[in-house]
Chains A and B, each alone.
Chain A
């Protein structure tokens, strides 16, 4: 499964678990308008660390916090490159 599809399925699964209505996941979707709260994002990042073996937020160099869904996917896709 690609990084993008792994991320997409985690967003969908956590939205169901947290009983939140998830906006359609387009690259330009602002995370703040995704329907998810901080706790949902925290769970997504923890599950992605297990699924992908990386936590790009904990990188040695400073991270630009992602603002859109596209930023979020790129943060994972470009990690370690």
Chain B
């Protein structure tokens, strides 16, 4: 593949050695030192042209490895920190992985091919960081069966919207609640590299500790999901930072969280962005109100086109992903280049409001849940005939998962409560906590469509 632009390192050092820093909870790296240093123990050359599984646990290490590998590796697969061991073989197969970058805490199953150890302490950069080709960035996003889908981006698509914005007049210090290996966090990582410094969150860190650290580093810009922000508001710790700009993305914000943040940061620009791993960044709204102005759809702006078809938002822009990887991968883009977001919208008085997801995909605090995946676990119970998993609107996490169950033989199942208990137990054993139904009801029947499919009410 021909290189169609500078690599990540080349683009941030175009005007000389960058002055910014990357800060984790335990370590920090100045980009100026990184010009001559390597987080890969000087083994970058061994990864040239390879498909690299980036499976480090530590976020700062991941950040450094991404900068080093872009333009050098053929492909890098950004493993999210919660990727289950059972899904690794599929990811490795579909991404044709032949090398890996791991740290001391990586899943041992991730150490495949040419295995390089990484750490957030710099060794001498012994080989050239010269870019040879445009690296494919593979992001993982949740799929219907529980196995992740592999979404192919390039540096050009990941920075398409960023590239249209004027550079900031003074260096910024960004921070994000997100992990940078998820799309929302990756956007902030790339912005920060071009604009100044970045303070990374730490897995398991209390929200108050994180904001104290971010405040101490003098952050000016910060992003998170509405659920992250509700948690900060409910922790009474918002005064530990004094940002100029507060961004929400990854979930649809309601007016309560926007009002809460406006009260906490009256001086700050409050922006909510709509983006998805597949569709890229579509727009940012800065008027502090839920929903988005209708004219964003009517009048296409710089490169990003929005349209509403079958009540669903569709996006076409240079920021959309290229395709899904894998032999049986679904189609990501329609023939006309639009990506269907699956997000239903409704126009009211000159503004579009989000009405939940088509197909019932549930967004719990920024994490997607496919109902089919949870139903498969529930339906494995011997007393269960069928089940319907659906979202229930929630002011803390946007939505929670609920389930309705039809028993095979209600007359022969005197203790229905025991079935509910056992189903809950197996969900807890087999699924991450946000996918376990918060409420389960036994119902006499579920509605079926004429074609024999379960009717999924829209969220």
- B-contacting residues of A (Cβ < 8 Å)? 17-18, 30-32, 38-39, 41-43, 45-47, 50, 55, 57-59, 62-68
**B40 close to A (CB within 8 Å):** no
From A41, A43, A58, B234 is in contact (CB under 8 Å) with: A41
Min CB gap A42→B, angstroms = 4
Q: Please judge, given known A-B contacts A31-B234, A31-B235, A32-B237, whether A63 and B260 are in contact too, CB under 8 Å.
A: yes
Beyond the given A32-B206, A41-B396, A62-B263, could you list 11 further A-B residue pairs with CB under 8 A, ordered by the A residue number? A39-B364, A39-B397, A41-B234, A42-B396, A43-B438, A46-B439, A47-B438, A50-B439, A57-B396, A62-B259, A67-B234
Main secondary structure, interface of A, reads helix
Are A58's CB and B236's CB within 8 A? no
Q: Which of B6-14, B59-67, B225-233, B315-323 contacts the other chain? A: B225-233
From A41, A45, A67, B236 is in contact (CB under 8 Å) with: A67
Are B256's CB and A62's CB within 8 A? yes
Q: How far is the CA of A66 from the CA of B236 in the complex (A)?
A: 8
Q: How far is the CA of A58 from the CA of B396 in the complex (A)?
A: 10
**B395 close to A (CB within 8 Å):** yes
Q: Please judge, given known A-B contacts A32-B207, A32-B208, A65-B230, whether A42 and B438 are in contact too, CB under 8 Å.
A: yes
Find the residue from A17, A38, A43, A50 having the highest chain B CB count within 10 A. A38
**B433 close to A (CB within 8 Å):** yes
Q: How far is the CA of A32 from the CA of B210 in the complex (A)?
A: 13
The residues of B that contact A62 with a CB separation of less than 8 Å are 255-256, 259-260, 263
Q: Please judge, given known A-B contacts A39-B364, A62-B259, whether A32 and B439 are in contact too, CB under 8 Å.
A: no
Q: Please judge, given known A-B contacts A57-B256, A62-B260, A63-B260, whether A30 and B397 are in contact too, CB under 8 Å.
A: no
**B57 close to A (CB within 8 Å):** no
The residues of A that contact B207 with a CB separation of less than 8 Å are 32
Are A38's CB and B397's CB within 8 A? yes
**B20 close to A (CB within 8 Å):** no
Are B256's CB and A46's CB within 8 A? no
The residues of A that contact B235 with a CB separation of less than 8 Å are 30-32, 67
Min CB gap A39→B, angstroms = 6
Q: What 8 pairs between A and B have smallest CB-CB spacing?
A: A57-B395, A67-B236, A32-B235, A65-B233, A42-B396, A42-B397, A62-B259, A43-B438
- Which residues of chain B from 360 to 414 have any CB-CB distance to chain A below 8 Å in the complex? 364-365, 392, 394-397, 400
A-B contact pairs, 28 of them (CB 8 A): A18-B433, A30-B235, A30-B236, A31-B234, A31-B235, A32-B206, A32-B207, A32-B234, A38-B227, A38-B230, A38-B365, A39-B400, A41-B234, A41-B396, A42-B397, A42-B400, A46-B394, A46-B438, A47-B438, A47-B439, A55-B395, A57-B396, A58-B254, A58-B256, A62-B259, A63-B256, A65-B234, A67-B234
